[in-house]
Amino acid sequence: MKSKENRLFFILGAFFVANALLAEFIGVKIFSLEKTLGIKQFNFNFFGVENLSFNLTAGVLLWPVVFIMTDIINEYFGRKGVRFMSFSAAGLISYAYFMIYFSMGLKPADFWIVRETPLGSINMDLAFNVIFGQGLWIIVGSLVAFLIGQLVDVTVFHLVKSKTGSSKIWLRATGSTLVSQFIDSFVVLFIAFYIGAGWDLKLVFAIGLVNYIYKFIIAVLLTPILYILHYLIDVYLGKELSEKLQLEATQK
């Protein structure tokens, strides 16, 4: 790890994988964005489905970070770097799920099963299994959507960069994220709930659209962070090395 580019790839990759893993596991919590912000609840009406609001998985807090890391890795290490990190993350997520399902089958210690809290007794073993025991279709949907989203992101990123050159970072980074997040929003719901749970297709499209509206807004708001990270990395690498890596990334 002596070279700057190796250190940079390791740091970006570690942050990428860590956020992807965390997003998967905190995603079991569904929260109300409006209640969290203390604002009036939205009532969207899409495809005949009424009273829709921003009830989102907690994972949406971190997925934008993952896609920012995708664009930064893409910028300096190209398609090969993104694919390596994407498949590494998918493999580690699969391994993590396997280990969690294994741990769910372990017999709990007697003293640990019931815990008294101010809100009453909690069956810790049951709570553990309910929280971490996501359905198989949800896991499959999430992983497939993640990989498809990453591959779409890297393709759109380089397509735009081939047309605009090194300028317009916002267009290739935010644009690729918006396209990949659109696909991701519907693929995960289609696999997890249309195929896996028998939801009506209109409901899948309606909830997917609400999720995408949130992701669209966040992706646009986070655009300045791309420029900040780009600047800091260029300072760290130095102009010559930075330009060399970006050129190689484009050629690869």
40 vs 221: CA distance, rounded Å: 21
User: Over the stretch 95-144, which tens digit does the pLDDT of each residue have?
Assistant: 988 898 899 889 999 998 998 888 888 899 988 888 887 766 778 888 88
Q: Which residues of 218-233 are buried (b: 16+ CB within 10 A; e: fewer)?
A: bbeebeeebeebbeeb
- Give me the pLDDT at residue 136, please: 67
Q: Which residues of 160-189 are buried (b: 16+ CB within 10 A; e: fewer)?
A: bbeeeeeeebeebbbbbbbbbbbbbbbbbb
Q: How far apart are the first and last CA of the chain?
A: 22
Query: What is the percent of the chain where pLDDT is above 70?
Result: 97
pLDDT at residue 217 greater than cutoff 70? yes
The whole-number average pLDDT for the span 172-185 is 86
Greater model confidence, 161 or 105: 105
Question: What pTM does this model have?
Answer: 0.84
Helices (H), 27-62: 33-37
Tell me which of 7-21, 40-54, 118-132, 152-166 is least confident: 152-166
Cβ 229 vs Cβ 235: under 8 Å: no
Q: Which among 102, 202, 194 is positioned nearest to 140, based on CA atoms?
A: 194
The whole-number average pLDDT for the span 218-247 is 88
- Give me the pLDDT at residue 2, please: 61
Query: Around 211, how many Cα atoms within 13 Å sit in the side-chain half-sphere?
Result: 25
User: Over the stretch 182-209, which tens digit does the pLDDT of each residue have?
Assistant: 888 888 888 888 887 788 888 888 988 9
83 vs 221: CA distance, rounded Å: 26
- Give me the pLDDT at residue 84, please: 92
Backbone angles phi, psi at 106, to 5 degrees: -70, 140
- CA torsion, ordered 37, 182, 72, 244, to nearest 10 deg: -160
User: Over the stretch 34-73, which tens digit does the pLDDT of each residue have?
Assistant: 999 999 988 888 888 888 898 888 888 888 888 888 889 9
Q: How confident is the model at residue 13 (pLDDT cuts 50, 70, 90)?
A: very high
